[in-house]
Every structure is written in structure tokens, then in C-alpha cells.
Amino acid sequence: MTKDNLAERDVTQKLLDRVCGLDNQDGNARLKAILRDLLDNLCYVMDKHDVTEDELWAATGYLAEAGPELGLIVPGLGLEHYMDALMDENDRRAGVGETGTPRTIEGPLFVEGAPLSDYEATMSDEEEDGERLIIHGTVRDLDGNPVPGALMDMWHANLSGFYSHFDPTNSQVPFNNRRKIRTDENGRYRAITIMPSGYSVPPEGPTDKLLKLLGRHGSRPAHVHYFVRADGFRHLTTQINIADDPLVHDDFAYATRDELIPDLNRSDDGAEIQFDIELAPSSIGQDYQMSHRKRLQG
């Protein structure tokens, strides 16, 4: 016999209506509706699993501790990937066909203000004994026409798996392995850098503790992030994975997409990746532009 769930009873439903302000006309109607459904499901889960008072306050304490790492916890729980999937689904529901290069998660480590270069940039400001890597390609529209003047932010970790501005060793100069590149008249770009390393969440931090309780690791494969912006086009947030990284299909943040694993060509002079980008016009479906999340200003 299925247990009668307290969350479904009229007394609880009326309580949640009052909690979320559904008995007044003030406040934000969208927030009220979303919070109402969220609390409804949370109360149902609490009864279904017989959540104890100790467990409720342990979870509350965890959230208080986790504050600085929420940018890691959200992708680690698949929510940032699901947001991408939801935008893809919105395109499908709207009957939108081709949308160009796939989007994937931003992650928490972008910094605004990287140095700007036209066509070509050297991303690494420090001498490291890493493998030289050249990434190049062309930005085009869906008809194959080049997009001159597109602005591209690129950023990645160093050999130790740390990002400048977030490096606990404080050993990197500002904007190391971060550049903004403007494509040339033929839509081309070229980045000269070093082969990045993957990274792991801070050991014994809130994210690490949660993932271990789920029987999971907190590591990402080596990758390079992109923002791509141009007038008349949707903003593109994406990243490429380094093809031979052993974690390429075992990313704790679920950012891997097969179309975003370009061929890696190695030679005595280093490695080379060609990554061409297709931008979708802002006129199709929803005009997705850069989100307004809080980001570090360099």
C-alpha cells in the first residue's frame, strides 16, 4: 500500500500557497510559481524518504559551507548540462533546424577583460615545459560564409590544472592562458598556447565531499573554453576536449559532446587542432545571448 504523503494533503498545499505568496498580488509572479513547485516537490521527497530533523539541518549547513563552490556543484549535479539540453529542446520544440556548433557549459572560471588580439594570439604568458599547441579555425554562418570581426574569448588551465585568477598557488600572472581574439576578414583565428591539463575539484571541499558520497570523482578532462560573439548572431558558449585525454568521456561536469572533440594532430613541433565554428543567427528561435550570471572582472 502506497504511503499517504503529507505533502499532498490540503493542509500542506494551503501552507505552500501562503509561503509562496499566492494569496497576494505583490512580489514577482514568476518567482512565486517556480518556488511553489520547487517546495512542493521538496516536501514530497522529505516525506517519501522520512527525512529527519538532523538530516534537514545537515543539508542546510552543507549549503552554507558550499557557497564558494556552488559554481562547481551546479555542473557536478548535471544542472548546467541540463540547462544546455533544455535550450536545445526549446529549439526543437520551436521547429528550429540547424543551430551550428553545439553549446556546452561555461563552468565557473571565466574572467572578463582578457587582452584582445586580431586574428592571432599567444595565450601563455609564462615559460612552461608543456607541449606547444596551436588551435586555429574559421568562424562561419550556417550558409558557410565567414564571419569577420567575431569576438572570441578562449581560456584554459595550465599544466597543473589551475586557471589564472583562481590558482591557489598564486604562481600565475593575470590572464595567463586567457585571450580575446577578433577574427580576420576571412573569419579566421589562431591561438598559440600550451597543451592544458584537466583539473579536479578542491580536495576535501564541499564539492569533493558530495561527489564521494555519490560514489563519483570530481575530475575533468583537458579542455579549452570558448565564448563567441558577433552582431546578428546568437552568443555561443562552448568548449573543446583534448581527444586523447583518458577522461574525455568521463567528465564530472558532463560537458563532453562528440562534436566538440576535434582531431588532435601531433608532430615534433607540437600539437595542432583545427576547430571551425558555425554561428546561428539571432533571428531563429529564441535569441540566446550571454547570460547575466556573476563573473569575475579582471
- pLDDT category, 3, cuts 50, 70, 90? confident
pLDDT (tens digit per residue) in 146-160: 999 999 999 999 999
DSSP class of residue 119 equals: S
pTM over cut 0.85: yes
Walk me through the domains of the chain, giving residue ranges and CATH numbers: 6-72 (no CATH), 80-297 (2.60.130.10)
The pLDDT score that the predictor gives to residue 2 is 64
Q: Cα(first)–Cα(last) distance of the chain, in Å?
A: 59
Q: How far is CA 66 from CA 45, 107, 208, 296, in A?
A: 22, 16, 10, 18
pLDDT (tens digit per residue) in 163-205: 999 999 999 999 999 999 999 999 999 999 999 999 999 999 9
Beta carbons within 8 Å of 91's beta carbon, 6+ residues apart: 99, 284, 285, 286
- pLDDT category, 129, cuts 50, 70, 90? confident
Please calculate the CA angle 78-83-87 and round it to the nearest 5 degrees: 145
